[in-house]
Chains A and B, each alone.
Chain A
């Protein structure tokens, strides 16, 4: 598999060098490594810190900036960051009002952020954690690792980030993040596997006429393999799975994220979005806000994820609040 890289081991670092060169309003620490707002720490503002494996760009570093994250910790490709890195980033952006960690529900991320929160707590920095687990393809159970954190992560980061910008306290910011997570459901379908720089070849083979249903964002196979269907049926299947787990009533508002996994042309995402919009309209649900594009990716995987968040007026107001980050900017 061909890639624009110099050496597989250097991909994350060299991409951070490029991110730093492209975005002077980020402060990129290559030794952490982490990316922080250049104007952090901001006294009295709750600091939002997220992170996770690399390969999901623009998440998370692309969401660092005014109105969203204060810092992001990129791990190796698809591997959660280490505690030292999370501690360094949290310390760098702590403005004395507390730190909120936004953590996707994966064993590795949960453990590394937990170890970091313990170390920060020992050093006198209180950490609140928002766990994101929106992927409805997986059963919610306390006896397993539970649901994965996927597309809703960026909604949580946007909305909680906007609340933090207003000067709200750490508990309120974390509670808002949790509320957005609980209101959200996601479902993903892939047409190809992806190729990590280290592996150099796709994680699995998928015949021309088949798709992986219920995939996550790490190039892993999904819950099941099925015959490829027209986009309309894939949109319907995804929306039904979300509505079954996170029902939305007629008359309610939602935010819809039609997200590409990295290897899907925008024209196909718009086509899918049109299908979803029609179905929601028929159900009497109003799409109050939407995003169509690559926001939470899985390297070069051809695939899509649909996220639906049942949004109240406060969430919508915070969604509309100004944001200035590499990947999301409006109102400024």
Chain B
């Protein structure tokens, strides 16, 4: 992945979140406080503006800029969590230049670890982690299996990650929340899809779309 692909991914996330903001907020109305779509949209609108204004070169710079922007602009639970994930992803990548698929896999894993450390959630708590953790596992596996591909396995890994994130997102429906606002509902949180896990899927879906579309 090079810097222009990294930017294209984040712009695609911003588009996708903007389109799904109402849906995300609706999901949050059921088990939270009706602000998740608003929060994410505010954050990625700011990320878009930050990227527009800064010719960050190198993948590392792109992701750390995006992460810092989310942390300082979103608030709520999702700002620090997604922001720290992107910052950790950036910091795990080479100081200069592009990232190969293995480096990206390590970066995504570092992002997951940052989310778990900051929020204390484990798989099954009905959070971002339930989509993010399987996505990272799938990304790593597919990256290894497809390392001989012409693109170093990036497209295959991104597709596998998006599929796993989607499954993880769906699997949050029967869970009883133990972290975040939804935990206050106790048993009443069962039967609803987690908003943060849904955003996580949108992010991996945007990655898959970005790296599988032919570049101009």
List chain A positions with a Cβ less than 8 A from chain B. 53, 75-84, 106-108, 111-112, 115, 137-139, 143-145, 148, 196, 198-199, 203-204, 216, 218-224
Smallest CB separation, A144 vs chain B (Å): 5
Which of B130-138, B145-153, B178-186, B207-215 is found at the contact surface with chain A?
A: B178-186
- Pick 29 A–B contacts, CB within 8 A, sort by A: A78-B34, A79-B39, A79-B74, A79-B76, A83-B71, A84-B72, A106-B181, A107-B180, A108-B78, A111-B118, A111-B119, A112-B75, A112-B76, A138-B183, A139-B186, A143-B178, A144-B183, A145-B178, A145-B179, A199-B34, A204-B29, A204-B30, A218-B32, A220-B32, A221-B188, A222-B185, A223-B186, A223-B188, A224-B188
Residue interface bits B113-144, CB-to-A below 8 A is 1, else 0: 00000110000000000000000000000000
Q: Is the CB of B178 within 8 A of A76?
A: no
Q: Is the CB of B72 within 8 A of A82?
A: yes
Which residue of the partner chain A has the closest CB to B29?
A203
A-facing mask of B62-86, CB < 8 A → 1, else 0? 0000000001111111111100000
A145-B179, A145-B183 known; A78+B33 contact, CB < 8 A:
yes
How many of B's residues come within 8 Å of A, CB to CB?
Answer: 33
Is the Cβ of A145 less than 8 Å from the Cβ of B181?
Answer: yes
Q: Taking chain B's interface residues, is the majority helix, strand, or loop, or is none over half, making it mixed? A: helix
| B127 to A: closest C-beta gap in Å | 9
> Given A82-B72, A108-B77, A220-B33, are A138 and B181 neighbors across the interface (CB < 8 Å)?
no
Q: Which residue of A lies closest to B180 (CB)?
A: A107
- B42 at interface, CB cutoff 8 A: yes
Would A218 and B33 count as touching, CB distance under 8 A? yes
Q: Are A107 and B184 in contact (CB under 8 A)?
A: no
B76-A108 in contact (CB<8A): yes
Q: Does B50 contact A (CB under 8 A)?
A: no
Q: A195 vs B176: C-alpha distance in the bound complex, in angstroms?
A: 26
B-side contacts of A106, CB under 8 Å: 77, 181
Chain A residues with Cβ below 8 Å from B25 are 198-199
> Within 8 Å CB of A111, what residues of B?
77, 80-81, 118-119
Contacts of A223 in B (CB 8 A): 184-186, 188
Asked whether A138 lies within 8 Å of B184 as measured between CB atoms, the reply is yes
Contacts of B78 in A (CB 8 A): 108
A145 CA / B38 CA spacing, docked (Å): 22
Are B119 and A107 within 8 A (Cβ)?
yes
A-contacting residues, B159-211, CB 8 Å: 178-181, 183-186, 188
For the A-B complex with A108-B75, A108-B80 known, give 6 more contacts whose Cβ atoms are closer than 8 Å: A75-B75, A75-B76, A79-B39, A106-B77, A111-B77, A203-B33
Q: Decide yes or no whether B35 CB sits under 8 A from chain A.
A: yes
Residues in A neighbouring B73, C-beta threshold 8 A: 82
Most chain B CB within 10 A, of A78, A83, A111, is at A111
Please report the C-alpha to C-alpha distance between residue A111 and residue B76 in the assembled complex, in whole angstroms. 8
Tell me, rounded to whole Å, the shortest Cβ–Cβ distance linking A265 to chain B: 25
In the assembled complex, the CB of B206 is this many whole angstroms from the nearest CB of chain A, namely: 23
Given the complex, which residues of B lie within 8 Å of A79, measured CB to CB? 35, 38-39, 74-76
B79 touches A76 (CB 8 A): no
Measured between beta carbons, the chain A residues less than 8 angstroms from B118 are 111
Chain B residues, CB < 8 A from A203:
29, 33-34
Measured CB to CB, the closest approach of chain B to A66, in angstroms, equals: 28
**Shortest distance in angstroms between B148's beta carbon and chain A's nearest beta carbon?**
41
Tell me, in angstroms, the Cα distance from A145 to B179 when the chains sit together: 5
- Give min CB distance, A116 to chain B, whole Å: 10
